[in-house]
Every structure is written in structure tokens, then in C-alpha cells.
Structure 1
């Protein structure tokens, strides 16, 4: 991994809060009586302790009574006493990445206040449109800007085919083909890695996430992130990142690396799914019934588009699966939020 914010060498170089990702969004949350508290950004979350970085450098925070580290995510902004380092409160998050793993009832915090989510996949057996759609739904729901990064392009005859498949997944999606080991990789990602910007990387193990983090950190890194190979027969890699942490990158931004994950449960992501499947979202108001499931109802504009060859039937199948999964994983909700009635349309009785 790149130079960790917990290195003592950082303490000798005070930094502007804006370079850590501070903005008016967080400034506006400060109360007059909190003038004696200093903003800190969470750098690592451990079972029993938190580390953070402030304008004066890295610190270990003291948790108040009845608080637990599981309430915080890497990238969070908190207010703490600048002398005792006692944590006072967490500020409202601008964005938050939450993932649900199979068998888990509680979402797992993957990162907070992330501006761009790099979804890393490779041009081999790891490339899976359905899984990429899950990551995109996660990014959309979190409020982050998703960018798909295609690695291992040198292993296939035509990487552009993977690029075209990726571009078709969501309107306006940015897709970048790169070699994580190349010097050009950092330059290709510079638009999203400027001063004060925070990016996070997600994807399966073995697709080059750790290598890419090392490349973004630049040649001055002091502690390189371990990298591992992949099993050639199924393109599955070994887990080399086992925890989340915030790291400075050469462009002046910050990166949160996350452990590799091959399964991702979608929950409470109705709006993220609407953005992802915009072609279905835009057709839905044209259906005869406002609560149309696009499965069997007469006058369904979505199924009509499939029949006309305008809409990919596989996209509709995957949309239905994600909507059902999101609804089932969300307590107190009977269906997707996108099913509100539109004036002039009837509802089945």
C-alpha cells in the first residue's frame, strides 16, 4: 500500500483541511459551541481503536463511553478534542458505501465520503456484467461517481469488446482500459484523483487493485501493498488486502482500498437500481398499470421494448433479480421505490 496516514513522518507537515477532503458540506455542520474541537478524518478502523489524520498529523482517537468502532467508517469526518483526542461526534456523511455479504443481516461499512468508486475488473473470466451491475447499484445508491477500470487488456485480442460491454451497463458511465503497473495508469486516473478527492477501489481478488493502489501512491511510497497472483484456470485471485485504510496518493488525493469480494448482496438500493437501469426506468411510466412488474401484465411498455428488440431481455432479467433482492433485504418495504403512480395511469385492483 502507499504511505499510510499513520506514519509519524506526516506529523511534521501540517496540511490544509481541504486537502484532506474537507468542504463546505462538513463546515456547515459545525456548531458555535464546538469551536474547541478539531476535525479529524478516520484513517483506519480496528476492533478496539480508531486512527485518524488532522491538520497536524496522524493520531489515535479515544472513543467516548458506550461508543464502538463499528459505528465508524474509513473516510468519516469526526470532531475531537485537539488536546485529549477524545472523539466528540461524527459528522453527517456526504456519501457512504455499504455492502451486504451473503448470510449477513447487517450492512458492512466499506467507506465514507468517497467521491469516486473505481470498479476494477479484468479482461478475462473475472469480467461479469451482472456483478458489475451490483457494484454500480452500490455506487449509485451511495452517491459516488462510478468508474469501471479494465485491467489485463494485454491478455486478450480485443479489449475494446470488454469496453463496449461495460459502457452499455449504464448511461454516461466512464470506462478506462489500463495496465496497473504502467506509469501511464496514474495519469489516466488523474481526473478523479486531484487534491482533496477521495477514491475507493472495489472488485474481485486478483484483478490488480493492490497493484493499482501502489501505482497511484507513486514512487515515494514507504510501505507497498502486498500483491498476489491469480489461478489461471478461473481467473480468481488470492486475497491480499484484508482491511480498509485511507492512504495518500501522488496526485494529492486519497484512496481507500477494500478487501476483494466476489459476492455482493444488494439491499435498500432502489434509487441506485433506477439509475443503473435507466432504460427500464424511463419506459415504466408508459406501462398501462402504475405497479407493473414487467413480467406478465398487458400493456407493459418494458416487455414491448423487449419484443421490439429495443431492450436486452437479459437486462430485464437482471433488473428483476436486483429489485427483488433489494426489496427482500430491506425491512418494512414491500417493493421498489420507483413504483409510484403517475397521473393518468390506472392501477390494478
Structure 2
């Protein structure tokens, strides 16, 4: 994995840009860091970290007190050319993270992602509530979400599945495809140009690994393993066990992620408003500024439900996610200098 490392002055700037480097990252480099090499984190394991440089893959050295837990696939870092030691991580333009059950803090999923491909399939795995959670994740991170519906070759008509998700968020792109067909590359090409980064998220068995193999034109010996779903319940087994960065054959980069069976909404500020824009836009017209849209008089949101311009199911799902976010988002408490975390109280 240790490719030959050359100095910045020898690097092909076009190749660095194709890897996702931009002025946002270049502006963070100080005058005394000109000799340090920009590299992009490609794999993160507990005991080792791999990066992609313009010269090829490199295994990084993490000097203490640096920890692999502080790095996400997609991060940009500055590296000493001689020792391959990571000097520092650059600020992220976007970051995907989630809070896990019993976890002390958010878990990093991926960084510096332009587009999040939310992958589901045209079968019983299609779950509106789960897709909405992924959309909140994408909105909060500042990435562009795209719903990718796979396994269209296994149904007579994919239109009902496409129609079921098309209205989940304004301006939401929905693409239905066969993840193993070459046509999938063309269908997703608008988001996969040179220097662009996409990430794949979704449940196990929906075709993320198959889609990765197609986008990256993986040879059989290099392909990510894929697994069949159980026909009884459309559930799949985990085939991807860690996050990794891969070159897309036609340009750009794709980050593969393990399947997520659960995704808790937490630490959200604007993601819900983007998902439920029709509710957020009506809220200022409510009589009370802290209206819960549940029982207060003069509620513009409930008035829209009553006159048929707002789907009551959307309001109920908004309320559920809002309460989930409040319950799962810790707040700082305790005396100054001795802060502790406790769940945020609900209304």
C-alpha cells in the first residue's frame, strides 16, 4: 500500500484536483506547510489509516496523540513527505455523522462528500421513514441527497416505487436502475464528475456493493463482495464491514459504507426544516412562536391539514422525528468547568 511519495512541487495539480482538492482546502495551508503533502483519507481502521496521494496509496503514520477515531474517510490531511506522518487534518467542507446506541459521541461516516446516494431497492426494503432519516442526515451535513432505487430488473414496473419517494423533499432527485448494469454509470454521471465525491448509504442487501463495483469498474478479483437478500423479508446481510474510498472509472470518487439497520435522528438543527419545508414555511404564521402544531389555537400548520393542503401523515412523521431529535441530542449541564451531558428534555 505504500506508493512512492513525491514532494508537492512535483505533484500534478490536475491530479490533485481530480482527487477532490479545491481552494477551500488550499486556503487552509500556512506558509510554513508548503513542503507537506496533501492526501485524502481512503481507509480507517482501529490500528491503521490509509490515504490516497497523487502518487498512489500510502499507509500513514499517526504520531501520538493522534487517533484513527478522529479521522473519516474523505478527510484531507497534510503529511510529512519523508516519514509519512500525519501532521494535521484540514477543516471539513461537509461531514456525515450519526449517533449510535450507547455511544458517547457521534460516529463519523464520511467527510467532504458532495452527493449522498441513499440506496434502497424496489422491494419490501423500501421504507419511507428510514429514507427520511437519511435525508435528514444529508441535509444536516450539507450534501446533496439523491435517492437511488435498485433492483428495477426484478419488478415489472418501478414507477410505484419512484412515485412513493419522489415527494419526500423538494427538488429531490430519484434514479431507478439496475446496480449491475453498465447503464447505471450513465444514470449517475451528473453527480460523479472528476473531483466530485459521492457516498453510498443504505441498508444491507440493497445493492450498494454492486453499485460500487459498477461505478468503479472493479475487476472480479478486486470487486467488493456482494450478498443476496432473504426473499422472505427483503433483508440483507452485511457484506461491507468498513468505509473506504474508491475511484469512479469515469471520474470522481465514491465512499462505500456498511449497511445501517438503524439510524437515530440526533444533533439536528436545520436538517428537519429542509426535509419538511412545507411545515417550516407555515410555522411563522402560527399564533404562538413556540407552537407545537398539536393543540394550540391559531396553528397555521394544523389549518393546512384541515383544508387538505398538508398531508397529515407528513405532520405526524415530522413530530416523531422532532421528538426523537430532542430525546437523542445531549445538552450541556452542570457548573462551568465541570460540564456533563444529559438527554435534552421534551416538551
TM-score by length of 2: 0.91
What secondary structure is seen at the aligned counterpart in 2 of 1:194?
coil
The answer to which of 80-89 and 14-23 deviates more is: 14-23
What secondary structure is seen at the aligned counterpart in 1 of 2:133?
helix
1:32-111 mapped onto 2 (5 Å cutoff): 32-111=31-110
Q: CA deviation at 1:219?
A: 5.4
Q: How far apart in 2 are the matches of 1:160 and 1:252?
A: 29
Deviations 1:73-123 (A, max 9, x none): 000000111111111110000000102233333211110001110000011
* Other-structure match for 1:294: 293
Q: CA deviation at 1:181?
A: 1.1
Q: CA deviation at 1:10?
A: 11
Q: How far apart in 2 are the matches of 1:251 and 1:289?
A: 53
Deviations 1:188-223 (A, max 9, x none): 001111111111000011111100000001155751
* Other-structure match for 1:227: 226
- Contact preservation (8 Å) 2:5, 2:81: no
- Contact preservation (8 Å) 1:270, 1:326: no
- Contact preservation (8 Å) 1:20, 1:253: yes
Q: CA deviation at 1:9?
A: 10
The answer to which of 261-270 and 136-145 deviates more is: 261-270
What secondary structure is seen at the aligned counterpart in 2 of 1:148?
strand
What secondary structure is seen at the aligned counterpart in 2 of 1:332?
strand
The answer to which of 51-60 and 239-248 deviates more is: 51-60
CA RMSD for the aligned pairs? 2.0
Q: CA deviation at 1:319?
A: 0.6
What secondary structure is seen at the aligned counterpart in 2 of 1:16?
helix
| Structure with more contact order per residue of length (Cα contacts < 8 Å, sep ≥ 6) | 1
TM-score by length of 1: 0.90
Q: How far apart in 1 are the matches of 2:2 and 2:178?
A: 29
Q: CA deviation at 1:155?
A: 3.1
Deviations 1:298-343 (A, max 9, x none): 111111111111111111111111111112222228689xxxxxxx
- Contact preservation (8 Å) 1:44, 1:244: yes
- Contact preservation (8 Å) 1:207, 1:237: yes
Inter-CA distance 122–226: structure 2 relative to 1 (3 Å threshold): same
Q: CA deviation at 1:229?
A: 0.5
- Contact preservation (8 Å) 1:102, 1:263: no
* Other-structure match for 2:133: 134
* Other-structure match for 1:345: none
Inter-CA distance 7–220: structure 2 relative to 1 (3 Å threshold): farther
Deviations 1:21-76 (A, max 9, x none): 00011011111111121111001101011111112221111112111100000000
Q: Which runs of 5+ in 2 are unaligned?
A: 333-343
* Other-structure match for 1:242: 241
What secondary structure is seen at the aligned counterpart in 1 of 2:254?
strand
